[in-house]
Amino acid sequence: MRMRMIVAVAGSVLLAGCSMPNANTGSVSPASAGAPSAAAPAEQKPAPTWGQRYTWKSGLAIELAAPVACKPSSYASPPNVERAVKVKFTIVNGTDKPYEAAGLSFGNDVQFSGAKAEPIFDSNGSCGGGGLDAATVMPGKTYTYEQAYSVGKAKGELQIALQPDFGSDKAVFVGPA
C-alpha cells in the first residue's frame, strides 16, 4: 500500500512538471527598442509579429524580421520546394549570464497556414545554409542568424514558436508570409 502511494505521488509530480509551457507571457515591444524591458505579469498577451521584440522574464529577448522570399538551389533540402521564405532572428541577451544560442532551438516549431513548415538547408543558394550555428551571446550583446522555410505556393500565415530553455514559456510570433 505504501509503495502504491509513493508511486502515485511520484507520478503526479512528474506529470505536473511535464505540462505544456505557456505562450507569449513575456513583453512585446518594437524591435531594437534598446535595453530589454522588465517582465510583465503572467497573462495571455497578443502574439508578437515581425519587427517586434519578445522578452522573456529572464531578460533574454528575440526579434524576428519579416520573411523575405528566397529561391532554393537545386541541391537544397528538402527538394522541390514550391515557395521559400527566409526569416532573420536576432537574439538580445539582456541577462547577466552568457547564453548559448543553440538552446533557442529547444521547443522550436514552425507552421505555415496550419501545417508544418520544413526548414530549408541550402548552402549554395539564396536561402542559406540552414539556420542557427553554435554561438555564445554575452550579456548585453546580440547575435543574428537566418533560417529559410518551405511554405505553400499561396501567401498565408507563418507561425514561429521559440523557447530558450525547458523551463521558459514559448514566444509565438505570427504574421503574413
Asked if the structure places residue 29 within a domain, the reply is yes
Instruction: Count CB-CB contacts under 10 A for residue 143.
Output: 18
> Which residues of the chain are under the pLDDT cut of 70?
1-27, 32-44, 105-108, 131-132
Predicted local confidence at residue 97, as pLDDT = 97
Asked if the structure places residue 14 within a domain, the reply is no
Q: What is the CATH number of the domain that holds 78?
A: 2.60.40.1240
Predicted local confidence at residue 39, as pLDDT = 52
Asked if the structure places residue 150 within a domain, the reply is yes
Predicted local confidence at residue 19, as pLDDT = 47
Measured distance CA(48)–CA(24) in Å, rounded = 8
Predicted local confidence at residue 6, as pLDDT = 39
Asked if the structure places residue 12 within a domain, the reply is no
Cell of 87: 526569416
Asked if the structure places residue 3 within a domain, the reply is no
Preceding omega of 139 cis (within 30 degrees of 0): no
Asked if the structure places residue 16 within a domain, the reply is no
Q: pTM for the complete prediction?
A: 0.76
Predicted local confidence at residue 154, as pLDDT = 95
Asked if the structure places residue 13 within a domain, the reply is no
Question: What total of structural domains would you count in the chain?
Answer: 1
Q: Quote the domain boundaries for residue 51.
A: 22-176
Predicted local confidence at residue 31, as pLDDT = 74
Predicted local confidence at residue 25, as pLDDT = 67
Asked if the structure places residue 9 within a domain, the reply is no
